[in-house]
Structure formats: structure tokens, C-alpha cells
Chain A
Amino acid sequence: MANQPAKKPSRAPRKTSRAPRKKAKASPDEILQYFKDMLMIRRFEEKAGQLYGMGLIGGFCHLYIGQEAVIVGMKAAAEPQDTVITSYRDHGHMLAYGMDPKGVMAELTGRSGGYSKGKGGSMHMFSKEAGFYGGHGIVGAQVPLGAGLAFAHKYKGDNGVSCAYFGDGAVNQGQVYEAFNMASLWKLPVIFVIENNRYGMGTSIERASATTELAGRGSAHGIPGIQVDGMDVVAVKEAGLKANAHCRTGKGPMILEMKTYRYRGHSMSDPAKYRSKEEVQKVRAESDPIDFVKAMLLELGQLDEAKLKEIDKEVKAIVAEAARFAQESPEPELSELYTDILAEA
């Protein structure tokens, strides 16, 4: 990827048309599933963008388009008792962890059928069943919180691992290093996943970070880190398995730096003056995570154009249904203003 002065990239920058990997460590069926899961996130986010444009979604709305391989690959490496926590760029994480697209979209439109009954919004959804603990709007806050989930896994002895996702901007927050220190000191089973999409809002990583090799950010605390091609879902899954094994065997936390890219603006109103159109176009054309898997599936004979269309149609139908639900679901009752403030004993 352009202007990425990483000293030791884990793999060579991609050439124009990426040859499908010869020995993909995933079965054709698994790869097909990743394709569907990534496509679901992309179509969902495109629809969310559209509903935003129609004024049906308000405020902030941070789309995950371009980064789909990260969460889909990591989910593939997770176990049912595991937990996950992330920032406001969270729709992809929720969908990958099996949350209902209808409930997610209805939360975006602020309706009673949303995961938080319309009271959380795009940035604040939760599902205990899915092990999804938000949805947090304060940059970096989810990192100690995620270490806290890991603390609870260890305290309860349930063999769970928590995964805390945060950005290349968040990685400079002081609380991240406080969490790194305690997670390592107490051997907490937490994977710190840095989604390095190269920008925190309009500030490129080079302009925000004294060092841009983020996988090494745990070295002061003895936390191993690996840099991963976050546009390659299979590579993500492999790294995820490694990190999970590390955490689950009591060795403490691990850092995965996912090199990825966000195609859309930071939120919906982004003047895009901080990067060139060519830069975005180049990543889209050369490193798209979905195209990459599509090529792999075509190569494997797992997919032809007709099947591809069919899958797209299926996914779009689910998304359209979610969008319909999100518009028809009523706004919350006015009495909801005063509920869920305090839990009853």
C-alpha cells in the first residue's frame, strides 16, 4: 500500500491483479462463507449510506467498507464463549458476530426494533448472546474495557478470549498502554486488534504517530505482535488462530496489526481533502478484500458468474429486508425516555 513506510511488511505489497494464494489454509466451503459474510457487511453498509442520504439515519454513521476481511477472518478464528468490543465503526463487527441485520439497521434509524430500542444509535449496540459488548464512542476506551472482559474470562475460568478492536488513531491514547501493561502483567486472555486503516479521521498515521510500526507497540510491555495483511481474510484467520492459541494457553495478550483501508469517509460528512481519489481508487482496484476472495473462488471452480449473482441477490434481499424493517419499525414509545437508566435490584 502506498506511503506506508513499514520497515518489515509481513508480505510484499500486492501487484495489480493478485494471484489467488496457492495453499489457502481454509477449505473452499469456508472461503465461500467468508465471501458471503464480507459481502453482507458491504451491502449492509452501502444500504446504510443510502438511508443516511435519505435522512433516515441521523448523526454520525461510520461505515466499515474496505475493512470487512478483518472482522470476518477474526470471527472465523473465534470460539463461542469469546467476547468482542470495538469502537463506533461497529456494524461490521455486529453482523460478523451473528447479530440480526434487522436489529442493527433499526438501531441506525432510531427505532424500537433496534438492538438498543433506538436509544443507542449507530455507535452503541450490545448483545450478550453474541458476546458483543459495544459499540463505544470514546476513542481508545474500548481497550481497557476489552481487557476487563478478558479479566472476567480469566476470573470465571471459562476459557474465553476477548478481542478488543481499535484504530491507528486510538493506538496513541494513553489508556491503551495502561491496558497493555495490566493485560500483560496479569496474563489476561485478550487480543488487541489494531485496525490500521491509515487514517484517524483526516490525519494519516504518519502525521499522528512517531512510529508507524504498530504491531510493535506492545514491546514495552512484553506483548508479542504480528503485522497482518488485513485485506486477506485467510491471512487474518490464520493470525487470529495463532493469537487465540496464545491467549487460550495462558500466555497473556497478543497484538495483531491489521493493515487495512477505509474506502468511505470517516463518518458521513467527510470532505476527503486529506487523501487523493487515486489513492482510494488504487486500493479498491488492487487490494479489495472481497474481489480477492471472489478471484480465489473462481479459480477454485467454487463459483461462476451466475452463482455470484445469485449470492449477491440473496445478500441484497436480506439487506433490503433489514432496511424495510428499519423504516417500518416504530419509533420508541415516549415513555422509553425514562427507562433503562438504573437496573432494578
Chain B
Amino acid sequence: MPIEILMPALSPTMTEGKITKWLKNEGDSVESGDVLAEIETDKATMEVEAVDEGTVGKILVAEGTDNVQVNSPIAVLLEDGEDASSIGTASTPAPVAAAPVAATAPAPVQQAPVATVEAEPDYDGPMVRQTVREALGAAMSEEMRRDEDVFLMGEEVGQYQGAYKISQGMLDEFGEKRVIDTPITEIGFTGIGVGAAYMGLKPIVEFMTFNFAMQAVDHMINSAAKTLYMSGGAIACPIVFRGCNGAAARVGAQHSQCYASWYAHIPGMKVLSPWSAADAKGLLKAAIRDPNPVVFLENELLYGDSFDVPESDEFVLPIGKAKIERPGNDVTIVAYSKMVGVALDAAEKLAAEGIDAEVINLRSLRPLDTATIVTSVMKTNRLVSVEEGWPVAGMGAEMAAIMMEQAFDYLDAPVKRVCGEDVPMPYAANLELLALPNTDKVTEAVKEVCYR
């Protein structure tokens, strides 16, 4: 049967074009790949190549014709043994009509639905006093003993014993195969870690600090977080990216930044930020066991702080569950990482003034435990969000949006954000203090929403 040649779309946006020139005439024989015609689009002049072979039976649209619609027949190709008389019966390689897209899309949702998270398991076993540093190291070592596929890579994690001594002793125990010192090449070793995770290994990639992860962020987002989706579920990426985040002390603008909201923005990723040593241990173990990419944001200034930690190897915290660190009735303060400590200090001061604050340690920034926050605000009717990060498009902005969407009727005051000041981090001691949230800023914000 003769084949109709259709006006092709030569770009994603082309709807019509001009046939500037025919390079084959009626009667010419054509092989696949031969150039048939030149077409001018809004952008460029391009060639149309033949896909099928045969003889040009008829040219339907003359040279010079403008506004030829995409997909309209422009010529007829005859196969071996056919002659022009059969042209009436031409078959278009007709597009089978695309399945119509239903006009009603599912109701827009803010985030992909998250499976309900189980509550933190009750623990009444023995506790040990540990620093955050020790808890992080213990979490990694326990998981590496438990699972051969887990390994640690990063700068100075081995012989140097960790730039911040998190991996102290691990090279001795696990050897060079599993505790790997990398060159100072963040995008390279992050890409290698992600590639290894595609094949089922479970890398822990340590960034000396998250400031340097900026060089690797393409692999974290484009190669790690999106692959499960892009592969239709075929390729998972079980990997942990960890290191210290947020302001250190007196190290200037390039070494002091909170990246929480950057990563929390990304579907396909989980983002955790521990405060206490128990958080650090239970959440890091959960991150290592999780089959997804997990960004784990630590804080250098907490590494030396001591807390009580459950002694069990099986103490693993649920991802996606916030913790009410201090129950209260008058106002809800949400915070994560080092700011949980600041919020608790503020709550103590406020108590002395007769304000009973509830302090929520978010722990998980993605998925976010919206239910716990909303439930708290239904009781207190006020919310103050505290973070080290900048205000614009930060975690506090997300809190405010959640309140608008899910707790509007319960609010007795506008949401108040306490954030890092909207400036690069200064070096001078007095300015640095001024740039960060502190208890006074939090108590002030709380009094404002309590109209006190």
C-alpha cells in the first residue's frame, strides 16, 4: 500500500512550517535516510529524511507553500511494484490516538502522601551518657557490623580518624575496604557513592561540612533523589549523605550556612536533623537502614554535648516523627538541630514569666511530621518557628504555610519566624552573635504571639 509522508514536527514547539524545497521529484526512488525536502520552521531550516523506502508517487504540497500543518500529508511514497493509480488508497502511518488525558487531575497535594509513621518505640532499658559525637560513631559502627554492604567514604574519615573525630577507630575495626579516605573531590566521590548505591551497596558519604556538598549537589538531587521515579521504581538509591551543617563558630560566610530548606525541598529525598545524642544515634541508624537517599544534617557545635542514650543496638527512631521535648499549653515552638536547645532555654525563661511553651523537636524535615505540629497548635493556638537558616523560602516559611492550610481556624496570632538574619555570616564575634537566633529573640517572638 502506498505510504503517506506527513509534515513532521521538527521541534517540540513546531505546529506548522514552510516547505522551502523538494530534493526528490515524483518518480525518484528513495532509501531510508535520504533527504526528501527542506523545511523552514520558526527557528531554523531543516531537512526531512525518509524513513521508508520506495518511489515518490506524488508530491502533495508544492515547494514554497507556507503554513503547512504538522501531520498533514505532503507526499505519497510507492512501495516496490506499486504505481501511481494506487495513490487513493494511501496509508498513513496513522498515529493511534493518544489515550485522552482525563480532564480532572487528582486534587493537588502539597507533598506526596506519606505512609503513617509509627510512634517512637517505648524504651525502658538501660541508658548510657554519650556525646553526640560518640553516638554518631556508634550508630555507624553498629550498622556496619550488622550489614556488610554498608561502608563509609569521605575526606579524612580513615587514617586521620575523622575531621571531627566522628569515625574515630572505625578504620581499625573495618579496614580500608569499608572506611575509605577520598581525595578532596566532592562531586566525584558523591557520584561514585551514588553509582555504588544503584548496585545495592549502602554508602555513607561524609561531607567534611555541608558547605562543600554544594559541589556535589547535582548527584544528590539529579542522580540520587530522582532515579527511583525516573526508572519507574526499578532502581533505588540507598545512600546517606552526612556531615555538619549550619553555623560553626567564627569561620566566616562560606563555612557557616544551614542547608535544611534546600534539601527539604526535594521529593525523593529524606532529610533528618538530630539535636540530642539519642536523636543522633536513633536517626542515623534509621537513615542507614532506609532504602532511600537520606540527607543527615549534624551540627558541629553539638558534637561535644552529652545526653542519655538508650544502650540497645536496636534503638532505631522512626523517620518522619517529631518529638515533643517539653509539653506546654500556651504556645508551640518548633525547632530542629541546635535550635532545639535554644528553644528549650527560652521555654524555661518564659515559664518564669508564666508562659507555658510546648517545644517540638522536628527531627525529620522531610517527611515533616505535620500532624504533631498541627495537633499542638490546635491546643496552644500559637506557633513560633526557630531555625538557623535564612528566612526567605526557609523551613519557617513552610511552617507558616502549613498553618495557613491546616490550622488557620485554630490560630489566635500570626505565625512568627525566628531565623538567621538575612545576611552572609559575618566573622566579627559581635556581628556573628547578632546574625543568629538566641533565647532572647525566641522569648521576644513568643511574647509577641502571646500579646504579652
Residue positions of A touching B, CB distance < 8 A:
43, 46-47, 49-50, 52-56, 58-60, 65, 83, 85, 114-120, 124-128, 133-138, 141, 143-153, 155-156, 174-175, 178-179, 181-182, 185, 263-265, 268-273, 284, 323-324, 327-328, 330-331, 334-335, 337-345
Measured CB to CB, the closest approach of chain A to B284, in angstroms, equals 15
Do the beta carbons of A182 and B96 come within 8 Å of each other?
Answer: no
Knowing A54-B95, A181-B185, A342-B228 are in contact, say whether A149-B9 is a contact too (CB < 8 A).
no
Docked-complex contact A340 and B188, CB < 8 angstroms: no
In the complex, what distance in Å separates the CA atom of A269 from the CA atom of B70? 14
User: Contact between B219 and A141 (Cβ–Cβ < 8 Å)?
Assistant: yes
Decide: A46 near B32, CB < 8 A? Known: A126-B235, A138-B222, A330-B99: yes
B residues in contact with A175, CB < 8 Å: 187-188, 191
CB-nearest residue of chain B to A138:
B222
Between-chain CB contacts (< 8 Å), 19 pairs? A116-B232, A133-B195, A141-B191, A141-B223, A144-B192, A155-B177, A156-B199, A178-B183, A178-B188, A178-B191, A182-B183, A269-B11, A270-B46, A272-B47, A323-B93, A340-B229, A341-B267, A343-B238, A345-B289
Whether B191 and A179, one on each chain, are in contact in the complex, defined by CB atoms closer than 8 angstroms, is yes
A271 touches B192 (CB 8 A): no
Inter-chain contacts of B32 with A (CB < 8 A) = 43, 46
For residue B300, CB closer than 8 A to chain A, the reply is no
Interface residues of B (CB under 8 A from A): 6, 8-12, 14, 32-33, 41, 43-49, 51, 70-71, 93, 95-96, 98-99, 101-102, 105-106, 109, 112-113, 115, 151, 177, 182-183, 185, 187-201, 218-219, 222-223, 227-236, 238, 267-268, 270, 289-292
Name which of B11, B98, B115, B231 has the most chain A CB atoms within 10 A of its CB. Answer: B231
Contacts of B46 in A (CB 8 A): 265, 269-272
Q: Is the CB of A339 within 8 A of B95?
A: no
Asked if residues B192 and A148 are in contact (CB atoms below 8 Å), the reply is: yes
Tell me the complex Cα distance, A192–B239, Å.
24
Which residue of the partner chain, among A149, A153, A269, A342, contacts B270 with CB atoms under 8 Å?
A342
Contact of A149 among B199, B219, B289 (CB under 8 A): B199
Instruction: List the B residue with the shortest CB-CB distance to A329.
Output: B99
In this complex, what residue of A is CB-closest to B45? A271
Chain A, residue nearest B286 (CB): A345
Assuming the A-B contacts A85-B195, A128-B234, are A271 and B188 also in contact, with contact meaning beta carbons closer than 8 angstroms in the complex? no
Whether B113 lies near A114 (C-beta < 8 A) is no
Q: Known contacts A50-B51, A136-B223; decide if A182 and B199 are in contact (CB<8 Å).
A: no
Residues of A within 8 A of B228 (CB): 340-343
Distance to closest chain B CB from A148 (angstroms): 2
CB-CB < 8 A to A270: which residues of B?
Answer: 44, 46
A-B contact count (CB 8 A): 232
Report the bound CA distance from A117 to B231 in whole Å.
8
- List the B side residues contacting A343 at CB < 8 Å: 228, 233, 236, 238, 291-292
Cα A50 to Cα B230 in complex, Å, equals 24
Given the known A-B contacts A144-B188, A151-B196, A155-B196, are A59 and B232 also in contact in the complex, defined by CB atoms under 8 Å?
A: no
A316 to chain B, nearest CB (A): 9
Q: In the complex, what distance in Å separates the CA atom of A234 from the CA atom of B267?
A: 45
Q: B290 and A134: CB pair below 8 A?
A: no
Complex: how many Å from CA A69 to CA B182?
Answer: 36
Q: How far is the CA of A156 from the CA of B196 in the complex (A)?
A: 10
* B292: A residues at CB distance < 8 A: 342-343
Please tell me which one of the listed residues B102, B105, B112, B291 contacts residue A344 in the complex, with CB atoms under 8 A apart: B291
Let me know if A148 and B177 touch, CB within 8 A: no
Least CB distance from B191 to A in Å reads: 3
Query: Complex: how many Å from CA A334 to CA B105?
Result: 7
Quote the shortest CB–CB distance from A60 to chain B (angstroms): 8
B70: chain A residues at CB < 8 Å are: 53, 55
Closest A residue to B239 by CB, please name it. A148
How many angstroms between the C-alpha atoms of A273 and B33 in the bound complex? 19
